[in-house]
Structure formats: structure tokens, C-alpha cells
């Protein structure tokens, strides 16, 4: 006779990278901060090691007007980060125009490991 099957989640182990160097492995909240940051810095559909749900579509905003970009960047941030099943909610608090080329997005997300601040810069044109 066998007992009930107990399923346990595997920890979210990843490499801790600081100043371009791998220091050790870690998991939990700190690993999740790194995961969200990496999602927001990785262009989707470019790197074959990632599936088509990983990364962001910010490149689609290049050459668009700031009016269009400020509306779309909120959707894109939410879509990119929520693709990770450890993320429960995403909130964009502010979209700031840094200069004629760059938007900065401020917000937060709630994950299974706790809340994480989001900050990302998005280029809209090169002129």
C-alpha cells in the first residue's frame, strides 16, 4: 500500500551575477528580482535558447510616437513579466519621458516570493 503523493516545488535556483561575475547560486526573492530584470532586458524571439514567451517586445516601439509608445509600453511590460508563472500581478505606476529617445517605466510586481520593484528604460527612436 502506498501513501499519498506529496508534490514539492523545486527551488528557483539561478546564478548570482554581480558586476559581470558569477558569485554563487541562490533562489527565492533575490533570484526572482534577477529573473524580472532579465525578462525586461531580453528581446523576445531573438535568442533560440528561450521559448517564444520569454522576453519583451519593446523593439516594436522603435520609431513610434511617444503617445503610442506610452500606451503600449505598459501593456508590453505586463505581458512580458506575467509570462513567468511565478508572477501574480504587475502594476505600472509611472511612465516617464527621459529625453526624445527614451521612456522609463516604474512599477512593481507581486510574485510568489514577494513584491519586486520594476524599472526599465525603453528606446523609441535614435534621432
DSSP code per residue over 28-56: THHHHHHHHHHHHHSBTTT-TTS-TTSSB
The pLDDT, as a whole number, for residue 65 is 87
Domain limits, the chain: 14-123
The pLDDT, as a whole number, for residue 24 is 64
The pLDDT, as a whole number, for residue 77 is 96
Segment 1-53, tens digit of pLDDT: 444 444 344 455 566 667 777 666 677 898 999 999 999 999 999 988 989 89
Segment 86-118, tens digit of pLDDT: 999 999 999 998 988 899 999 999 999 999 999
> Alpha carbon of 72 to those of 2, 7, 16: distances in Å?
53, 39, 32
Measured CA to CA, the distance from residue 3 to residue 101 in angstroms comes to 61
The pLDDT, as a whole number, for residue 6 is 40
Count Cα atoms within 13 angstroms, Cβ side, for 91. Answer: 8
Do 122 and 58 contact (CB within 8 A), yes or no? yes
Could you count the other beta carbons within 10 Å of the beta carbon of residue 87?
21
- The matching CATH number, chosen from 3.90.550.10, 3.20.20.30, 3.10.450.40, 3.40.50.2000, for 14-123 is 3.10.450.40
**Global pTM value:** 0.78
The pLDDT, as a whole number, for residue 127 is 53
Cβ-in-10-Å burial (0-12, 13-18, 19+) of 77 comes to buried
Cell of 112: 510568489
Q: What is the DSSP letter of 7?
A: -
Segment 56-80, tens digit of pLDDT: 999 999 988 888 998 899 999 999 9
Amino acid at each position: 500500500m502506498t501513501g499519498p503523493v506529496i508534490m514539492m516545488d523545486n527551488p528557483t535556483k539561478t546564478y548570482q551575477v554581480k558586476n559581470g561575475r558569477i558569485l554563487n547560486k541562490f533562489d527565492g526573492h533575490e533570484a526572482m528580482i534577477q529573473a524580472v530584470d532579465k525578462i525586461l532586458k531580453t528581446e523576445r524571439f531573438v535568442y533560440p535558447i528561450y521559448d517564444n514567451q520569454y522576453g519583451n517586445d519593446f523593439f516594436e516601439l522603435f520609431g513610434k510616437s511617444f503617445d503610442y509608445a506610452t500606451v503600449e509600453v505598459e501593456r508590453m511590460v505586463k505581458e512580458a513579466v506575467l509570462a513567468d508563472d511565478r508572477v501574480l500581478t504587475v502594476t505600472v505606476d509611472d511612465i516617464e519621458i527621459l529625453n526624445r529617445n527614451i521612456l522609463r517605466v516604474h512599477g512593481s510586481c507581486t510574485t510568489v516570493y514577494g513584491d519586486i520593484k520594476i524599472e526599465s528604460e525603453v528606446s523609441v527612436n535614435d534621432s
